[in-house]
Structure 1
């Protein structure tokens, strides 16, 4: 098996990430406001739906690129035959490693973005400056642990399911899936993974939006989940589940489809020039 192309994974992952984050930003804003402690209307309702988009735009390319470089490299390191029963484990480990690395870039971008989404009158750079002034660099990484604890279970569901659906579709039609078929598999896998991990997403949002010095700001995921359960019950734990599922299903379609399509184009270009 050839070592994965560093440039191909970087560009394909980056293009896919930017495409998703910018196209689906309004749905992400609605989801964040539904999950915020002050409630949807007080957090801005449907006003200023693109608040925080500069942070997403800046962070999305390096974040997605870092994920896919790591994902493809770990898959290569752990190479097993595609029919092996260990194949899902390989995809789980590769996706988990990818999330740990990508979150180093994603979390600061997410902290700034989510605070802008629930405070639409504040400029993104002003929010970024305030975090650095009041909390320093650790403030930008508030919620790193909760984000990783959300992303790893999400990836453990999404990526093995995506790979398995592609393999099944490929087997049924007796040739490799097209980019649009990969995208359909990604949409289904993403929507399912989004639904089952919504409580972890709610906890992450509460931690990132908590006032400095409050107990929620400590980053304890279990404590955040218990707090939501006590005040809002099961509906609070699944706040924003439908916009989250919609965003991630569409995101999975665009993200994984764009990733496969860009990889194919770059591979074609590589063959033409070689």
Structure 2
């Protein structure tokens, strides 16, 4: 059955619909299950709309509002479409942020890695950027690619007053999935930032040779301990700010407004999770010598040997880095999502023009 306007069961019904209704506009190609409105239903002048059986992933649902009006209601994008668009937006935002703010991240890492009295080296602040981009791009793509459809589904499940739970959960789900790529990337990056290796390839081969493949996942537990709450909290704060602000201004947000909300959510989350970041950094860079046996042992030794304040080492650069990063990331994310929606809308219009009868 080719995609065209709805065919009625009888020829006179078809003629009646053509005479008394606007052209049916379809938003997507594909196979549909037909349902028809009989002549008698039209002639009785139904005033309430009736849903037509046009269901399928990502397919539109058309509604007959009256005998003389056809209104179109495009269905939400499919999960696959949501994943692809999210992946493109996430990859773009992640690469932009990482390239712009990498030196601040390097300084933060060296501050956290330095033992009491250690000196901070300010040379080679872009050390490891290339290898990190190679990991950030797929990790960011995977994170947003999972986050967006997960958020949409969870928002359908939870009532409006529990939207924050949906955002928290979607952030954690996205973070957990992306950690499979993020952790090896972070291990290699931080060991290069602290001068242990001069190239990503050397770092990977050396780590695998000395510590095995599991060496690339050093500090995995600490990473999840930091990143799952970080992702959940940051995206929840941002999404909730957007909801409240949009209700206030009653319009779509400008890039500058997204930037401010992104900066605020990033800075707050970065400050709160700094101790978890310090623990994660120490566990990831310790290598095969194993100074720390785990998260609890790391916390205990840091507090005992260096003082509790050490758990907040690098909080200044971290808050600045993540605050600015949040500003850039969410602006780039929203802008890319907008451009993708415009491209999709443009394609829909082209299809409409080709299919309208």
Q: Counterparts of 1:40 and 1:23 in 2: how far apart (Å)? A: 30
Alignment match, 2:134: 58
Alignment match, 2:296: 222
* Greater shift in the superposed pair: 156-165 or 131-140: 156-165
* Counterpart among 86, 99, 103 of residue 162 in structure 2: 86
Q: Where in structure 1 are there 5+ consecutive unaligned residues? A: none
Alignment match, 1:140: 216
Count how many residue pairs are aligned between Structure 1 and Structure 2. 271
Q: Where in structure 2 are there 5+ consecutive unaligned residues? A: 1-74, 349-357
Native 8 Å contact 1:55 1:110 kept in 2: no
Once the 2 structures are TM-superposed, how far is the Cα of residue 169 of structure 1 from its aligned partner? 1.5
Native 8 Å contact 2:132 2:189 kept in 1: yes
Alignment match, 1:261: 335
Alignment match, 1:235: 309
Native 8 Å contact 2:155 2:166 kept in 1: yes
TM-score w.r.t. structure 2 length?
0.72
Alignment match, 1:17: 94
Answering whether residue 299 of structure 2 is matched by residue 250 of structure 1, we say: no
Q: Of Structure 1 and Structure 2, which has the larger fraction of its residues in helix? A: 1
Answering whether residue 344 of structure 2 is matched by residue 270 of structure 1, we say: yes
Deviation per CA, 1:126-158, whole angstroms, max 9, x where unpaired?
A: 121100111121010111111111011212321
TM-score w.r.t. structure 1 length?
0.93
Native 8 Å contact 1:81 1:87 kept in 2: no
Alignment match, 1:112: 188
Alignment match, 2:256: 180
Higher relative contact order (CA 8 A, sep 6+): 1
Once the 2 structures are TM-superposed, how far is the Cα of residue 177 of structure 1 from its aligned partner? 1.6
Structure (1 or 2) with the larger CA radius of gyration? 2
Native 8 Å contact 1:60 1:106 kept in 2: yes
Once the 2 structures are TM-superposed, how far is the Cα of residue 70 of structure 1 from its aligned partner? 1.1
Once the 2 structures are TM-superposed, how far is the Cα of residue 39 of structure 1 from its aligned partner? 6.1
Deviation per CA, 1:203-250, whole angstroms, max 9, x where unpaired?
A: 00000011314242x4x2222122211122232000000100001001
* Greater shift in the superposed pair: 145-154 or 9-18: 145-154
Alignment match, 2:113: 36
Deviation per CA, 1:77-109, whole angstroms, max 9, x where unpaired?
A: 212489712100000000000110111001101
SS of the aligned residue for 1:48 comes to coil
Q: 1:91 to 1:121 in 2, by over 3 A?
A: closer
Native 8 Å contact 1:80 1:87 kept in 2: no
Q: Counterparts of 1:63 and 1:223 in 2: how far apart (Å)? A: 29
Q: Counterparts of 2:258 and 2:111 in 1: how far apart (Å)? A: 31
Q: 1:128 to 1:14 in 2, by over 3 A?
A: same
* Greater shift in the superposed pair: 7-16 or 124-133: 124-133
Q: Counterparts of 2:123 and 2:196 in 1: how far apart (Å)? A: 8
Native 8 Å contact 2:91 2:140 kept in 1: yes
Native 8 Å contact 1:56 1:109 kept in 2: yes
Q: 1:159 to 1:169 in 2, by over 3 A?
A: same
Once the 2 structures are TM-superposed, how far is the Cα of residue 52 of structure 1 from its aligned partner? 1.2
Alignment match, 2:240: 164
SS of the aligned residue for 2:160 comes to coil
**Pairwise mapping of residues 192-211 of structure 1 onto structure 2 (< 5 A)?**
192-211=268-287
Native 8 Å contact 1:36 1:118 kept in 2: yes
* Greater shift in the superposed pair: 147-156 or 249-258: 147-156
Deviation per CA, 1:161-210, whole angstroms, max 9, x where unpaired?
A: 11111112212211122233122111100100000100000000000011
SS of the aligned residue for 1:24 comes to helix
